[in-house]
Structure formats: C-alpha cells, structure tokens
Amino acid sequence: MIDSHSKKHYIAIIGGSISGSEAAFILAEKGYRVVVFEMNELPYGKIEDGLPNWHINLRNKQEKNIDLKLDHPNIRYVPNVRIGEDIVFDDLVKNWGFTVVILANGAWKDRTLPISDISKFENFGLIYQNSLLHWYNHKHEPNYNGIKYEIKDGTVVIGGGLASLDVMKLGMIELVQKALLNQMKIDIDLFTFEKKGILKILNENKTSLSDLKLEGMTLVYRRTAYDMPLKSPRNDTEESIQKAKEVSNKLLNKYVDNFLFKFIPLGSPIDRIEKNGKLDAIVFQKNKMEKNKIFSIEGDTFTLKTPLLISSIGSLPDRISGLPYDGTTLKMRRNDGYVVFGFSNVFAIGNAVTGRGNIQESKSHGNLMTNKIIDDHLEQEDLFEEWLVNYNENLKNLVQEQIEEINKEIESKKIMPDKVIENILNKTKSLQEKIGYTTYSEWIKLKTPIRLEDMIKN
Ligand SMILES: Cc1cc2nc3c(=O)[nH]c(=O)nc-3n(C[C@H](O)[C@H](O)[C@H](O)COP(=O)(O)OP(=O)(O)OC[C@H]3O[C@@H](n4cnc5c(N)ncnc54)[C@H](O)[C@@H]3O)c2cc1C
C-alpha cells in the first residue's frame, strides 16, 4: 500500500489508544506511513488502565478494534517509548524526519486537589483516581509489582461524573466483599457483585452493612446530583438540559441505592486536618446553586473525618516539555482547534485536547480532526514545502554524507527522500528490537495480562 502519499509524508502519532489508533488507521488506509509511539507495552490507554475491569465486553470490543486498526502494513507500532522522556519532543519534531506529529496522548495527570500541601499525603492517606484504577485493574496479576492500596471503611471520595461513580462502586465492592469473606466465609466474585449490586447480595445473604460493622464510603460533590455530568443533553434547549439533569439525578440515586454509599452534594474541599503526621479529616466549604451557577456560602463549612481520601476530580493531559500550555491544558491555535499553538505540523486529538470525554467522543474527535489534518494540511503543498525548507537544517546531521544526493532527489521529485524514510525505519526498528518486539499480533498476545474473569473461571 505504498503510494505517493507515503513517499511525501511520514507521520508520528503519540499514543495508540482510542483516538491514536483511529488517526493511524485513517492515515494508513489513505496510504500514508505512520509510526505510533506508545509509552506502555499495550496501546489501550484508559480502556486497559482506566475502565474498571468489570467492563469486560466494552474492554474486549474496544481493544479488538484498536488491534484491527494498528495491525496495518503502513503502521509501525513502537511500544515502551514515552515521548518527553525516552525521546525529547523537540528532537522528534525536528530531527527524525516526520512531516507531521499528532498528539493522542490522552489525559493521565490527575487534577490536584485544591487543598494546600495535600500532595504530601499522596499514597499515604490520599489516592488519586488514575493510580487507584491502575492498581485495581492489575492487582490480580501474578507479577503485579505496582503500589498496593487498601480501601478503608469510611473512605471519602471527592468527585462527580461517571468515573467517580465507578470509584464508589469499586470501593464499596472491595469493602463488602472482604467483610463477607472474613466475617461470614462467603466468597462472592467481583463480577457477581457488580451485576447484582451490593444491596441485593446483602439481602440474599440476610445481612447488612451494619451487621458487617461497615460504615461505607461517602462521595462529596461540589454541585447537586442534578448537575452531575452523567447524561449529556441531546441539544441546547432548556427542555433537553432539564431532561438530562433529571436522568443524572435518577442515575446517581440508583447507584446510591444499589451500592449503598452516602452522597453529600454542595461541598468543595478547602482544607485538611492532620493528626500525628497522618491525614485525619477534610474541611469542606458549603455551596449553593443559583441559576446553574455555583456559589460558596461564606462561613458555612463542614468537616469529614476519614481514614482515606480518594480524589476523582478528573484528569489533565500530562505535560510534555517543548509543547506550549495554557494553564493546565495544551495551548491550541484556536479554542476549538486541533493545531497546537506555535506549530504548523503538530496536532492534537482526543482526550489530549479537552482532558475529558468518553470513548465515542474521543473516537469521533480523532476521526474528524484526522480528516481535517489530511484535507487542510497533508494534501496542501505548504506543509511539505515548509518541511523541505527546514529539512536541510534539521536533517543534515543524520544524513550528512548523502546530503547533496538527497537534495537533488527532493528538488526533482518533491518527495521525501528514501534516506529519510530509511532513517525513521532504522531508528524505530532498533527501539523495537531492544525490547524484543517482533510483530504487532505476537506482541499483543505476549503482553496481554491474564484476565481476572479467566482466573475466576479456572
Ligand atoms: C474510571 C473510568 C471509567 C470510564 N468509563 C467509560 C465508559 O463507561 N464509557 C466510555 O465511553 N468512556 C469511559 N471512560 C472514558 C474513556 O475511557 C476515555 O475517554 C477514552 O478511552 C480516551 O481515549 P484517548 O485515546 O483519547 O486517550 P487514552 O485512552 O488516555 O490514550 C492515550 C494513550 O497515549 C499514551 N501516552 C500518553 N502519554 C504518552 C507519551 N508521552 N508518550 C507515548 N505515549 C503516551 C497512553 O499510554 C495511552 O495509551 C472512562 C474513563 C475512566 C477513567
């Protein structure tokens, strides 16, 4: 599938998950050559390490989809390479020979809780959502060697939205599952818990949270249940917005009823109380909602004692040195844009742009923006002309001895010289060889961890 496109452009994509694989596939199908750099062994991003592992069907479907896209003759997959650390971003853009770089690196940095000096408790009384979910999804693996957490009774979770409800569910299941096993010798697997809900399981076993001497967990949200972003309105009309609010409220209450956690609306964390060097309690500011806007009620606070605090207040794109940022988000040429500020050949798609979204949004954004990148940039002469101008400066170190020969080739054919393509192929091949990578399908087979559902079955 090598044609004129592939001879003119070589594209680097950072991140191989939902948006990265979508972009890579669209480009590869059009005949462009693509390298996907992925910091993990597997390219599945939040699907593997974010979605709690009871989403078996969703995970399997999405991962299969990513495999079908990335296992393409025009795509070279390079795992275990973190751009910004293993390869400096500036080097990738200027020296490797890529005409375009697309950031599809998602949002992996937890927002910091707005409480002064709270970070000193990280992993000692405070857990951020991304680390929690990584542990949760992998803790059953025999060679798991990451941080080990323990959910404590009375844990307070700060957050709102679907991910924080998953956090409540996983925490409550952990607590009740352990209590049933230790106190009543009843062993029920996670998938049964998730399907039936805690209330039903406790009823079936003629017990309750108080019988098991459990207090349960508490979710604190800064707005009300109606304001939780659990359901997107169909359109901007007042009626549709109101309907979505009703659904969000219903959904939240359904979760509370089935998984037996407490919900406290209208509280924002503002301070923490420390006792003997340990995190002891969180102080919350009371809020009120007026015309969909949130206001703090001055002087009105409440304090919750907690043995463990979990922060589930969302994620932001991880900073990569060499890229421009506007506060916490990547700085784009336009607010709704995909072109990274200060560059004409660096683009961003998926969660990497917004810091939030779901699978469908990430895929659609990847699809829409990649088609724009093709139509408005790759198929325009300007981008390649600009690359040519920079080319001498940026590439002469790599291919010094052939510089004259290459220049002639470029000038006459207006294509990327074979030497540049070879250079990319050699460099990526050596990265793959270093970790024993052979083919995409063999690598995936080798690196996919044992699944909890398979362990339970056996
Ligand atoms: C708890 C939880 C539950 C969720 N539940 C749902 C749900 O039920 N339904 C739904 O639709 N969505 C859900 N989502 C959201 C959904 O998983 C994400 O929106 C989607 O997977 C994001 O895809 P992405 O490709 O934009 O980003 P990611 O999946 O984050 O992919 C980014 C990729 O880039 C790689 N990467 C990052 N930095 C670098 C670097 N410097 N160098 C190289 N590689 C890098 C990462 O390893 C990753 O593979 C949930 C998310 C969470 C956290």
CATH number of the domain where residue 380 is located: 3.40.50.720
* Among candidate residues 321, 327, 373, the one with its CA nearest the CA of residue 348: 373
For ligand 1, atom 13, the nearest C-alpha belongs to 358
Residues 388 and 241 occupy one common structural domain: no
Beta bridge pairs of residue 83? 87
Residue where one domain finishes, among candidates 266, 282, 314: 314
Residues 257 and 402 occupy one common structural domain: no
> What range does the domain containing 13 cover?
4-108+317-457
Question: What is the average pLDDT value for the chain, to the nearest integer?
Answer: 92
Residues 84 and 126 occupy one common structural domain: no
- Where is pLDDT greater, at 335 or 35? 35
Q: What is the mean pLDDT of residues 181-201?
A: 97
Provide the 8-state DSSP code for 340.
B
On whether the CB atoms of residues 34 and 74 are closer than 8 A, the answer is yes
For ligand 1, atom 19, the nearest C-alpha belongs to 358
Residues 284 and 354 occupy one common structural domain: no
Q: Is 46 in the pocket of ligand 1 (CB under 6 A)?
A: yes
Residues 235 and 197 occupy one common structural domain: yes
CATH number of the domain where residue 207 is located: 3.50.50.60
CA-CA distances (angstroms) from residue 243 to 248, 256, 278, 292?
Answer: 9, 20, 43, 14
Enter the tokens of residue 178.
């352990």
Burial class (CB in 10 A: 0-12, 13-18, 19+), 290: exposed
Q: How far apart are CA 329 and CA 341, in angstroms?
A: 12
Count: domains in the chain: 2
For ligand 1, atom 23, the nearest C-alpha belongs to 18
Question: What's the pLDDT score for residue 1?
Answer: 44
Question: What's the pLDDT score for residue 214?
Answer: 98
Residues 323 and 432 occupy one common structural domain: yes
Task: Report pLDDT digits (tens) over 51-72.
Answer: 999 999 999 999 999 999 999 9
Residue 392 pLDDT grade (very low, low, confident, very high; cuts 50, 70, 90): low
Substitution site in 63, 231, 359 for ligand 1 pocket (most atoms within 8 Å of beta carbon)? 359
CA-CA distances (angstroms) from residue 190 to 52, 117, 174, 292, 308?
Answer: 11, 35, 8, 38, 22
Q: What is the mean pLDDT of residues 340-362?
A: 89
On whether the CB atoms of residues 452 and 190 are closer than 8 A, the answer is yes
Task: Report pLDDT digits (tens) over 261-270.
Answer: 999 999 999 9
pTM of the model: 0.93
Q: What is the mean pLDDT of residues 346-358?
A: 86
Question: Would the CA dihedral through 339, 327, 273, 218 be positive or negative?
Answer: negative
**Would you put residue 291 in left (φ > 0), alpha (ψ -120 to 50) or beta?**
left
On whether the CB atoms of residues 197 and 258 are closer than 8 A, the answer is yes
Q: How far apart are CA 151 and CA 164, in angstroms?
A: 15
Report, in this order, helix, strand and coil percent for the chain, each rounded to 5. 45, 20, 35
Question: What's the pLDDT score for residue 398?
Answer: 57
